Amino acid sequence: MYVNSIKLINFRNYSGIKIFLNEKVNIFLGENGQGKTNLLESIYIASTGKSFRSNKDKELITIEKEAGYIGVELIKENVEKYIELKLDLNNPKRVKINGVEQEKISDLTGVLQVVVFSPEDLKIIKEGPSHRRNFLDDEITQMKPVYKSIVNDYNRVLTQRNNLLKVIQYDSNKKKMLSIWNEQLVELGTKIMILRKSFVDRLAPISKDIHHSITDGGENLEVQYSSSFNLVNLDKNKIINKYNELLSKYEKEDIEKGTTKIGPHRDDLDIIIDDKNTRIFGSQGQQRTAALSLRLAEVKLIKEETEEYPVLLLDDVFSELDINRRKYLISTFKDVQTIITSTDDIEIEEIDKFEKRIYYIKGGNILYSK
């Protein structure tokens, strides 16, 4: 699978541009603020329907314009597909696939798989559990598109349950309605935890091997799913029973606080190097290596699941990596279409053995390519 072309109209700082990409390696060079990351962002949006930089669609449209457009042509299983997104200041974005308008943005899921690695990925390691849950959810969705609707349904039920808990604080008669939301919460929450646990069980050994290679065997990476309760050796029915037991145990506390204490919305991912929590005790170099290991493991998992490699997007990361990490990352390019942004070309010599195309960008324009 690879992206053949990108067409942008009034997207970020691109008034109108169409770029044809190399099937292997593509390098976008330019100073900061010229639009390099915007190109990666447009591909990511065509894959997931959302940006990896902003939650506000309005920010994607060129200033003083009413609408914007993203068009991405890709080749998947030797078949051409065309993804189009229409962005509008006053309306939700619309999606077409091969000219057919889709009912939901989520219909994009699974058409184009991408993995993006950027300096922002340090947040997965360094910041709060929500970043790690988002990492899990985004990557599981790429492999199992139905997962997104399960998470959306869970969040809707969780909101309804929390709202009811607040009502019960001053109207105890409403307590009898709690069982309705508990039943739905347990059903959906159990599915999420099982899928997350299964994903992490597959991710952990791959990321461990990658990390071991990057560090020349000097470090041991462990990745573990940290759930509201221990899932080891529990089948679906036992998880459901345990879930219900804990909801009952914490019911009084939930009502007092107006929020739900347990469930996948509280879960985390433990990332451990040499028996120490990387978030707390890891150096910045270790944290960056752990993030890279997770992303490259993701590439392999998507290949296992879909039988095709995803497109790899690397946003200004080469300058952040030492020579060993850089060499390992470059070694993955042989199997994956890779799109790289950088402020300088000092690393290009290390990529000379690959078929590639280089673009020079300034102010949202391609000055030239070679």
Instruction: Tell me the binding residues for ATP.
Output: 30-37
Burial (CB < 10 A; 0-12, 13-18, 19+), residue 166, is: middle
Token digits for 24? 């292997």
Cβ atoms of 6 and 19 within 8 Å: the answer is: yes
In total, the chain counts a number of residues equal to 370
What is the torsional sign of CA 364, 19, 309, 45? Answer: positive
CA 320 – CA 314 distance, rounded (Å): 11
Q: Which H/E stretch holds residue 41?
A: helix 36-48
Q: Which spans in 169-271 are helix H?
A: 178-214, 236-249, 251-257
Q: Which residue has the tokens 């219900």?
A: 244
Tell me the CA distances in angstroms from 162 to 167, 247, 254, one per residue in order: 9, 13, 8
Q: How far apart are the first and last CA of the chain?
A: 23
**305 C-beta neighbours (distance < 10 Å), count:** 15
Tell me the β-bridge partners of 312: 115, 338
| The pairing of beta strand 25-29 with beta strand 356-362 | parallel
Could you count the other beta carbons within 10 Å of the beta carbon of residue 107? 16
Tell me the binding residues. Answer: 30-37
Distances (CA, A) of 296 to 91, 133, 213: 36, 18, 12
Q: Which of 66, 10, 65 is nearest to 42 (CA)?
A: 10
Give the Cα separation of 192 and 194 in Å (integer): 6
